[in-house]
Amino acid sequence: MKYDDASWHSDGDFPTELPAEAGATHIGMYVAWLLLQGMASEELAEDEEEDLQALRERSTTPGLFLLQCSEGKFVDDLISDEANAFTAVYYDLENGQYLEDYEEQLGAEIPSLYHVADTWENFDRLAPVIAQRLAAWQATQS
């Protein structure tokens, strides 16, 4: 299953002054958070160890990682079963809370959410919110 794709954003109503890569930032932030929590699929952990190490060392950014690792596509085989179950609820582009959290944490005083910089500073601002959402979701699963 494909949850999101950077091209869905950069090919649509997208700010002309930004590079297409900016369409991957919101996706990359979420995927990177999951992967850094140890929620990679076994296949990804085996096949992309070097890229995952770069992510852990922060020598690449979340959006760039997504573009390099999966061509900007967020698909279910990147993450573990638990991460997929959480993502189905939290990341859902129509009914989930992720984009609202992303906007609340990173969207103030910028022209659009595509203008959020693909930086570790922004990741660090968003990460605690995702952690809280996962903990709350996990509490409902037991």
Closest listed residue to residue 27, CA positions, set 132, 128, 123: 123
Look at residue 42 in the predicted model and tell me its pLDDT. 96
Look at residue 142 in the predicted model and tell me its pLDDT. 74
Which distant-in-sequence residues (6+ apart) come within 8 Å of 4 by Cβ?
27, 73, 74, 91, 93
Q: Give the residues across from 2 on adjacent strands.
A: 75
Look at residue 11 in the predicted model and tell me its pLDDT. 77
Look at residue 13 in the predicted model and tell me its pLDDT. 80
| pTM of the model as a whole | 0.96
Angstrom distance (rounded) from CA 89 to CA 66: 21
pLDDT along the chain (142 residues), means of 10: 94 88 97 98 95 97 97 97 98 95 96 96 98 97 84
Look at residue 127 in the predicted model and tell me its pLDDT. 98
